[in-house]
Structure 1
Amino acid sequence: MTDYVDGYCERVAPGLWGEPLDSLSSLAFLVAAVLVWRLAKGDRTGRVLAVLIGLVFVASTAFHLLATRWAAVGDSGALLLFAAVYAVLFTRENWGPRWAWAAAPVFLALTVGSALLGGGLYLGALIGLGVFAAILAFKRDTHWTHSAVAGAIFALSLSLRGLDRDVCDYVPAGTHFLWHLLTGVVLYLVSRTLVRRESP
């Protein structure tokens, strides 16, 4: 678990500052966490989401500074934890607590299934955003656009994440830092659909 991980264009050798752009761009998650915390104004759901986004910031920063296997697991795990908890909270908000805890196993099954089929760890989250946007649109909830826009941004973000290793010869810094910036926006937008909803 302490093995060195060289998975991105920007990193060419071990060392804490081997990925300056990837490390600094992780601050996007911290900004999102602070904004969600302020938006929550004491709301419990908002505080939980803000803390989870803060955990994503810590895990992402640790991985891009340390570049070890255990840090990589923590990086992916923090984002998937946010997605699973969000699925539970979204389901509780829209269908009540009876169905809420079914959301996490469904999300886990979707994540594992998409990963086994070659779609990666985060394809399930992208599918989930599409489903959430459709549910809110069906209910004529004005916040459906937040999920729809978040889904579109996340699709672009995933594409840039996947392109990183393919563009090293042309863009030495890679594109992974853009994944951080855009995904930070996504986490804020999806949190906004649940926290302190504005009146239509």
Structure 2
Amino acid sequence: MTDYVDGYCERVAPGLWGEPLNSLSNLAFLVAAVLVWRLAGGSRVGRLLAGLIGLIFVASSVFHLLATRWAAVADSGAILVFVLVYAGLFPRVFFGWRLWWLGPPAFLALTVSTALSGGGLYLSSLIGLAAFAAILAFKRDTAWTTFAVAGAVFALSLSLRTLDRDVCDYVPVGTHFLWHLLNGLVLYLVSRAAIRP
């Protein structure tokens, strides 16, 4: 688990500052966490989501600073915790469903299915954002536009993450730092939508 991980264009050797842009761009998550916390007021949902975004900031920062296998697991794990919690919050917040606890296992099953079919760990999140937007549009809830925008931003973000290793010869710093910047926006948008008046 302490093996060195060289998975991005920007990193060319071990070292704490081997990925300066990838490390510093994690501040987008910290900014999102602070904004969501301030927006939350007395909302427990808002504070929970702000805390989880803060966890993503810490885990991703540690990974891009240390570049070890265990830190990579922590990074992916923090993101997975956020999306699983959100999958449970969505039916509860927008529909008042008492069976909200069915959301996380359903989303986890979707994630495993898309990962095994070659779609990677994050395709399920894109599908989820599209589904949330469609469901809310059908319900005539104006929040659907927020999820539509978040989905479009995440689609771009996921594309840039995927392209990182392919553009090393042309863009030595890669594109992974843009994944962080754009995802900070995505996390803010979906969290803001969940803090209902």
Q: Which letter does structure 1 place at the counterpart of 2:126?
A: L
Instruction: Encode CA deviations 1:97-124: one digit per residue, 9 max, x unaligned.
Output: 4220000000000000000000000111
Match of 2:67 in 1: 67
Distance in 2, matches of 1:94 and 1:184, equals: 22
Q: Kindly state the Cα deviation for residue 174 of structure 1 after the two structures are TM-superposed.
A: 0.2
Query: 2:141 aligns to what SS in structure 1?
Result: coil
Match of 1:157 in 2: 157
Match of 2:15 in 1: 15
Unaligned runs of 5+ residues in structure 2 are: none
**TM-score normalized by the length of structure 1:** 0.97
Q: Kindly state the Cα deviation for residue 94 of structure 1 after the two structures are TM-superposed.
A: 2.7
Native 8 Å contact 1:28 1:184 kept in 2: yes
Q: Bigger CA drift: 63-72 or 93-102? A: 93-102
Unaligned runs of 5+ residues in structure 1 are: none
Match of 1:90 in 2: 90
Native 8 Å contact 2:93 2:196 kept in 1: no
Distance in 2, matches of 1:35 and 1:110, equals: 30
Of all paired residues, the percent bearing the same amino acid is: 77
Q: How does 1:1-200 map to 2 (within 5 A)?
A: 1-197=1-197
Q: Kindly state the Cα deviation for residue 80 of structure 1 after the two structures are TM-superposed.
A: 1.1
Query: 1:6 aligns to what SS in structure 2?
Result: coil
Q: Kindly state the Cα deviation for residue 33 of structure 1 after the two structures are TM-superposed.
A: 0.3
Q: Which letter does structure 1 place at the counterpart of 2:175?
A: T
Q: Which letter does structure 1 place at the counterpart of 2:64?
A: H
Please identify runs of 4+ aligned residues in structure 1 that moved more than 6 A.
none
When the two chains are superposed, the root-mean-square deviation of aligned CA atoms in Å is: 0.8
Native 8 Å contact 1:39 1:196 kept in 2: no
**TM-score normalized by the length of structure 2:** 0.98
